């Protein structure tokens, strides 16, 4: 089984890159599933209904969010009704939507996607992603009632992402990091068979500051307050992510970082 995970989509440049390259990658690599993080897809902040409609028809199976998942006003309704859109699972149970869902793919394979938000340097003060992961994974047996388990660990601290990778090693197919928008050079298979990468990067204009036009972030660094609105950079978009392959037991046999412009 083979899956593509695309890092955080930032604005229109990122959306265009995903729509341009995903169908090609599915054909070239014989992908069984595509999961895309859309935490910054709508103007750099969250995902709207218009953005979801923009993605439909482009061979994407699952969308994950992050700390910006509620930034758009229609987000609660979308999370309650769009079954392919996930929010971090360690939000309170009263919050609309879910971050752990089992998907039956067209070929009959079962894919479980678990989406978590880190605690370090995040203001949301959510439940521990580690205890949340234990509870969410309890009903599933990798290679038994599920063919592949992908964990999108949306977090600021590299140490927290690495901790999650080792914590779930051997229990899931892959732990891939999102949120920081810069691809890390540590893609590997952990000792017990889980594919891991600290951050898969972003889909967007890399001639930027983490996908945004430099003026906005620069004035904040220089003047310590926000004088202009943060806007996504609008140049040519790059798709960044990783292709993960698993065997019949659900454990990883390969993880290959990918960047296409």
Written as one string, the DSSP assignment of 55-111 is HTTSS--EEE--TTTT-STTHHHHHHH-TTEE--TTS-TTSSS-SEEEEE-TTS-EE
Residues 6+ apart with CB under 8 A from 31: 2, 3, 4, 25, 243
As a whole number of angstroms, the longest Cα–Cα distance in the chain is 55
Distances in whole angstroms, Cα of residue 215 to Cα of each of 41, 220, 222, 232: 19, 9, 10, 11
- Active-site residue, selected from the candidate residues 29, 68, 181, 223: 68
68 a catalytic residue: yes
If phi over 0 gives left and psi between -120 and 50 gives alpha, with beta otherwise, what is residue 57?
Answer: left
Can you tell me which residue has the tokens 């989406």?
A: 115
What is the C-alpha to C-alpha distance for residues 256 and 261, in angstroms, rounded to an integer?
A: 17
Active site residues: 68
């Amino acid at each position: 089984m083979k899956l593509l995970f695309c890092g955080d989509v930032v604005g229109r440049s990122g959306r265009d890159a995903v729509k341009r390259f995903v169908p090609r990658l599915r054909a070239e690599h014989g992908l069984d599933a595509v999961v895309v993080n859309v935490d910054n897809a709508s103007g750099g902040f969250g995902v709207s209904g218009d953005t979801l409609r923009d993605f439909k028809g482009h061979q994407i199976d699952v969308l994950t969010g992050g700390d910006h998942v509620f930034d758009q006003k229609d987000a609660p309704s979308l999370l309650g009704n769009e079954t392919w859109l996930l929010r971090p699972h360690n939000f309170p149970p009263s919050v609309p939507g879910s971050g752990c869902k089992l998907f039956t793919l067209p070929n009959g394979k079962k894919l479980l996607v678990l989406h978590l938000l880190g605690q370090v340097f995040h203001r949301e003060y959510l439940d521990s992603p580690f205890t949340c992961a234990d509870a969410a994974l309890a009903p599933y047996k990798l290679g038994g009632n599920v063919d592949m388990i992908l964990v999108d660990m949306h977090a600021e601290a590299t140490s927290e992402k690495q901790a999650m990778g080792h914590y779930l090693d051997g229990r899931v197919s892959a732990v891939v990091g999102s949120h920081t928008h810069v691809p890390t050079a540590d893609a590997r298979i952990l000792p017990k068979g889980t594919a891991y990468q600290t951050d898969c990067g972003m889909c967007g204009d890399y001639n930027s500051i983490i996908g945004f036009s430099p003026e906005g972030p620069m004035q904040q660094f220089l003047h310590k307050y926000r004088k202009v609105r943060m806007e996504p950079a609008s140049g040519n978009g790059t798709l960044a992510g990783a292709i993960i392959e698993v065997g019949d037991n659900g454990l990883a046999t390969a993880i290959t970082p990918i960047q296409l412009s």
